[in-house]
Amino acid sequence: MTSHDELKAWVDQVAALTQPEHIHWCDGSDQEYQDLLDRQLADGTLIELNQQTHPGCYLHRSDPDDVARVEHLTYVCSEHETDAGPNNNWMPPDKARAMMREHFQGCMAGRTLYVVPYCMGPIDSPISRCGVEITDSPYVVVNMQKMTRMGTAALRRIEREGTFIKGLHSTGQLDPENRYIMHFPEDLEIQSFGSGYGGNALLGKKCHALRIASHQARTEGWLAEHMLILGIENPQGEVHYIAAAFPSACGKTNLAMLIPPAEYEGWKIRTIGDDICWMRPGEDGRMWAINPEAGFFGVAPGTSESTNPNALAMLNRDTIFTNVAVTADMQPWWEGLDEGTPAFDWQGRPYDPANGPAAHPNSRFTVSSRQCPSYSPQAEAAQGVPLTAIIFGGRRERLVPLVIESESWQHGVLLGAAMASETTAAATGAVGDVRRDPMAMLPFCGYNFGDYWTHWLGFADRADQLPRIFHVNWFRKDENGRFLWPGFGQNMRVLEWIIDRSTGDAGAVDTPIGKMPGQGDLRVEGADVTLSDLEAILQVRKDEWKTELDEIARYLDSYGNRTPEKLRQECERVQSALESD
């Protein structure tokens, strides 16, 4: 129980509505975790994996109709539709609450109601924020224990501060026709019904850490972003921290856990986080950042010794897998692994290629960040880490060069607002369609993008040592479809230039779209890239960029009078530079 009167009253109200058989206040202890595992093993919610090869590892198979986020059923219920913006689905708060109340009525009958107090970020960090999730899913509880600082310490902070994010979740009957994720930003509240899947059910993740937190951050003067945070330590022991935003399928986790190439002897990567970054200006004028999460909820397929050996190495113990396949001796398996053969697919059927992939393409692993070989203890630093640079990136086969440095903070915000990736025929039926995903926040910003960009621009007046902003693109191809840049660990070469530019130790050339490496500015010895490839990947095709800037201007205009004039002016400045160059 708790001494917090508002929290007690809320739990009582939810219990009266949902009618659970039992109420359990979670303390986050190891014993509680084991008891929850035992309960789920007994009822089949979890399946024990090979404890000789994967001690402490378990498999969860979700309902086949409940395997991913449901963006079309995710709503931002602000009082006014214009505050949610065209980047969000909107529903009036009163209507949403009435509808959700009907769904929650009696939904926990025969179940246990779990009260899950949690802290997003280090317990003693001033940047951290707390929440309480009420759920009827023990699977959610064990995942929240890995993904957040969950339990008694979080509850004590809530009692001291008096405030918390309210999150109410029930799996309901897992009916896809009655599945909703509602966000009430003005009330700092989340309601989720009808799903047991990750981002729909682990309310500390996208719901709190991005949609609600982005709104809260705007009010309180900080930023909640869909970004990795990594530290780069050079042979002299100097560490620079970088935050980076990428849309899906652009290698965010791989970059967060990068292993430098052989030519970078003595360099080390320190992983702070792979998905979410909260940052605010410090008293020294620099931007300080924390990873609010305590674990990784990563996509399994494609994770291998060649793509991300650090990620693979942390999955051999104390991991919860969701919707992966298994081998005959009950080891987890997914497409991309170099060893093993699937015996049963993600639905538990004997593996048959005619049924599709063995592991669901969105199958996941949940694991503590501390198990990552490149984990940095600075992930628990109360003050966070100071950012040297911020990187935006997308997947563009032709247009966007390998790396661009912004001319100013304002120009950097434009680079982020204009972020885009090209779709594939498999996904959309048309190769090369450009999907704008500003700051990689399209599914996650809890309010109008126009206001969001205004908030970003405002930091230029609030700090005098802001991080330099860059844009990268690892995915340029030649006319034959061959990648011009080797990617993965070789991206270290670009990171080195970014750091050196931020500290004044590297050269650059001016182009109409920003500063770029000149000849000899990138260290490419030993990389599988020719001089002609490098020249091509750094080429600025002015006519194509004029078309791109016109499209960016139209996109910005789609947010009407909410689009900040400074951003329009910056777009016009780049357009003029292209015309006059």
Known binding residue 362? Answer is yes
Known binding residue 363? Answer is yes
| Residue 526, SS3 per DSSP | coil
Rounded Cα distance between 306 and 311, Å, is 11
Rounded Cα distance between 516 and 406, Å, is 9
Tell me the one-letter amino acid at 410. Answer: Q
Known binding residue 321? Answer is no
Q: Are 240 and 495 in contact (CB under 8 A)?
A: no
Rounded Cα distance between 120 and 127, Å, is 9
Known binding residue 205? Answer is no
| Residue 118, SS3 per DSSP | strand
Contacts of 449 (CB under 8 A, 6+ apart): 85, 86, 87, 417, 438, 441, 559, 562
Rounded Cα distance between 226 and 467, Å, is 17
- Name the token pair of 229: 């945070």
Known binding residue 372? Answer is no
Known binding residue 523? Answer is no
Known binding residue 166? Answer is no
CA angle 170, 172, 174 (to 5 degrees): 115
Known binding residue 198? Answer is yes
Known binding residue 451? Answer is no
For residue 384, which of 265, 276, 254 has the smallest C-alpha distance?
Answer: 276
- Cα distances from 382 to residues 125, 227, 288, 422, 496, in angstroms, run 4, 19, 10, 39, 27
Q: CB 99: neighbour CB atoms within 10 A? A: 16
Known binding residue 114? Answer is no
- Region label for 399, one of left (φ > 0), alpha (ψ between -120 and 50) or beta (otherwise): alpha
Cα-to-chain-centroid distance, residue 494: 22
Strands (E), 337-384: 364-368
Known binding residue 420? Answer is no
Catalytic residue ranges: 250
Contacts of 179 (CB under 8 A, 6+ apart): 66, 70, 73, 172, 193, 194, 195, 200
Q: What is the DSSP letter of 522?
A: S
Rounded Cα distance between 133 and 4, Å, is 15
Q: Are 139 and 60 in contact (CB under 8 A)?
A: yes
Known binding residue 226? Answer is yes
Known binding residue 381? Answer is no
| Residue 264, SS3 per DSSP | helix
Known binding residue 511? Answer is no
Tell me the one-letter amino acid at 212. Answer: I
Rounded Cα distance between 579 and 512, Å, is 9
Q: Write out the H or E segment, with its range, that includes residue 288.
A: strand 287-290
- Name the token pair of 380: 């628990």
Known binding residue 253? Answer is yes
Known binding residue 254? Answer is yes
Q: Write out the H or E segment, with its range, that includes residue 552.
A: helix 542-557
For residue 217, which of 467, 464, 445 has the smallest C-alpha distance?
Answer: 445
Known binding residue 526? Answer is no
Rounded Cα distance between 45 and 36, Å, is 10
Known binding residue 4? Answer is no
Rounded Cα distance between 112 and 108, Å, is 7
Q: Are 498 and 391 in contact (CB under 8 A)?
A: yes
Rounded Cα distance between 512 and 253, Å, is 31
Known binding residue 246? Answer is no
Known binding residue 251? Answer is yes
- Cα distances from 359 to residues 19, 51, 59, 344, 350, in angstroms, run 36, 20, 12, 9, 12
Known binding residue 248? Answer is yes
Known binding residue 546? Answer is no
Binding site for GTP, residues? 249-254, 364, 395, 488-491
Binding site for Mn(2+), residues? 206, 226, 275
Binding site for substrate, residues? 69, 197-199, 248, 362-364
Binding site, residues? 69, 197-199, 206, 226, 248-254, 275, 362-364, 395, 488-491
